[in-house]
Amino acid sequence: MSFTGTTPQEVRILLHDLMKDVRQKNVYIGCSGNFTTDKLMASMGFDVHSNDVSLYSKLISDIVLGEHTKVEAVNNELIPIFEKWEETPYKNLIQVMFAMRLSGFHERKNVYQQTMFNAFMNQSADYYRDTVDKLQKGSLDFKIKSFSFYDFYEFLKEKRGKGVGISFPPTYKGGYEKIFSYVEKSFDYERAKYNLFDPAKAESLFEDLLSTDENIIYSDREWESLKELIIGKINLGYGKHPVYIYSSVVTHKNYYIQKKKEIKPSNLTVLPIDYEFTRKTKITVDVCSVNDINYFKGFYMAAKVDYTTGGDFGIVFLADGKAFGFSSFSKFLSTVDLVFMQSDFVVNSNTPKLSKLLIMLVKSHEVRKLIARRLANYYDGVKTTVYTDKPISMKYRGVFDLERRDKGKLMYVGRFTDIGIKQIYQTWIDRQK
């Protein structure tokens, strides 16, 4: 995860879980980068106040807020390129994005760098048109209340008592300067005022922010003095530093997530929290790996239940190609007639009754066929166990039948139907209205 990169979806999932019960209206994002966290918080209904010291972030905020920063290109190689670009509201931003694209090759120390630099320069007109098209399609259609162009530490100190702060500072000393050095040399503008951040010496700074106000900070370093404030640890995969989430935000739940080392990150993309289901939404189902099930379970299933494996295989439920739910099945726990569903869960979403949609879809003709192909048996239905002391499960009620009630658990059975996922989805969406 780089200083300017997108916040990993694992962190976004955890942030959503942590913030969903927060009653503070204002959220202050230090080091906004490309505004991934800002978009998430805005989608949850918070008033978002953003902050960064990069020209890239400042120009994004200009578009979102309808403001203007005076920027002049001073790189003699880039000026002729930029002069050919037509005027659009995105021109300043795309100029900086283009310079960022060249930054890894501009020194032209070898044949590869020279080839890449020349290729990007030759494709500059196409790059501009394509990027304008992408931006016009809505990638910057999100709301923030304000943007502060100065040091993130000062920004978070000044907001004390006004709302929750969230920040991911650079992971190495001079992170901003090293990433944006070519950009800084290529443009003249009024630069932000800030102190050089050294993550190796950030312990006291983090302690100050966390002990005096409600803040969430994620970092790739574990500090002994702040261990009690760690509410999450996420392993991002081989060769990557884990991300530690420190929080002094008071919420109803206090949890600790640590991904098992043997579980690899999933390539599946989960549905955005603010995705709106409509009659035009395309619902599909597909087989997924046990690793995918295990990977996402830690974020979406109740921590009090020990689901040790993802079963023999999994099914992913998708809306317009993005995962909104998962189920897994065990052949060992199945009978001749009933396949055992070991787990089922949906992603965090603003959409109500999404879990009900998933178990409705489990009974579909398409899911039955996927299970039959995978387990070589044409089952009559699905059975599953719900661990609860309550007499019924509202989630399964009306879709599955309660077969047995034991102490601390319920057994539900749902019979397969000949109805397809398209018709099931239309029934569900009609009930949402």
User: Is position 146 within any domain?
Assistant: yes
Task: Name the percent of the chain in helix, strand, coil, to the closest 5.
Answer: 35, 20, 45
Pair (117, 235) in one structural domain: yes
User: Is position 182 within any domain?
Assistant: yes
State which residues form the domain around 121. Answer: 9-247
Token duo for residue 54: 């990069």
Note the pTM of the prediction, 2 decimals.
0.71
Domain count, the chain: 2
Phi, psi (rounded to 5 degrees) for 202: -90, -5
Least confident interval from 228-242, 292-306, 365-379: 292-306
Nearest to 313 by CA among 362, 241, 370, 264: 370
Residue at a domain's end among 187, 221, 247? 247
Pair (223, 310) in one structural domain: no
pLDDT mean over 29-48: 92
User: Is position 127 within any domain?
Assistant: yes
Pair (241, 288) in one structural domain: no
The predicted pLDDT at position 305 comes to: 45
User: Is position 122 within any domain?
Assistant: yes
Contacts of 128 (CB under 8 A, 6+ apart): 85, 94, 98
User: Is position 260 within any domain?
Assistant: no
Q: pLDDT digit string (tens) for 280-314?
A: 999 999 999 988 888 888 677 654 444 445 688 99
Q: pLDDT digit string (tens) for 181-228?
A: 899 999 999 999 988 777 778 889 999 999 999 999 988 888 888 888
Pair (210, 291) in one structural domain: no
CATH number for the domain harbouring residue 306: 3.40.630.30
pLDDT mean over 381-408: 91
Pair (314, 219) in one structural domain: no
Nearest to 221 by CA among 207, 208, 19: 207
The predicted pLDDT at position 307 comes to: 43
Q: How far apart are CA 345 and CA 296, in angstroms?
A: 9
User: Is position 259 within any domain?
Assistant: no
Q: What is the mean pLDDT of the chain?
A: 88
Pair (196, 82) in one structural domain: yes
Bridge pairing between strands 187-188 and 146-148: unpaired
Pair (423, 334) in one structural domain: yes
The predicted pLDDT at position 2 comes to: 37
Q: How far apart are CA 247 and CA 214, in angstroms?
A: 8
pLDDT at position 404 over 70: yes
Pair (30, 170) in one structural domain: yes
> What is the number of other CB atoms lying within 10 angstroms of the CB of residue 178?
12
> What is the number of other CB atoms lying within 10 angstroms of the CB of residue 96?
23
Pair (97, 192) in one structural domain: yes
Measured CA to CA in angstroms, residue 337 lies from 340, 372, 378, 383, 411 at distances of 10, 12, 8, 10, 15
Pair (34, 120) in one structural domain: yes
Q: pLDDT digit string (tens) for 314-364?
A: 999 999 999 999 999 999 899 999 999 998 999 988 899 999 999 999 999
* One-character DSSP codes across 312-346: SEEEEEEETTEEEEEEEEESTT--SSEEEEEEEEE
Residue 398, class by beta-carbon neighbours within 10 Å (0-12 exposed, 13-18 middle, 19+ buried)?
exposed
Pair (303, 420) in one structural domain: yes
User: Is position 262 within any domain?
Assistant: no
155 within 8 A of 170, measured Cβ to Cβ:
no
CB burial string 248-284: b at 16+ within 10 A, e below: bbebeeeeebebeeebbbbebebbbbebebeeeeebe
Nearest to 294 by CA among 311, 276, 281: 311
Q: pLDDT digit string (tens) for 115-173?
A: 999 999 999 999 999 999 999 988 898 999 999 999 999 999 999 999 999 998 876 66
- Which sign does the torsion angle of CA 68, 70, 76, 79 carry? positive
Q: How far apart are CA 244 and CA 168, in angstroms?
A: 10
CATH number for the domain harbouring residue 47: 3.40.50
Residue at a domain's end among 222, 247, 272? 247
User: Is position 413 within any domain?
Assistant: yes
Pair (203, 322) in one structural domain: no
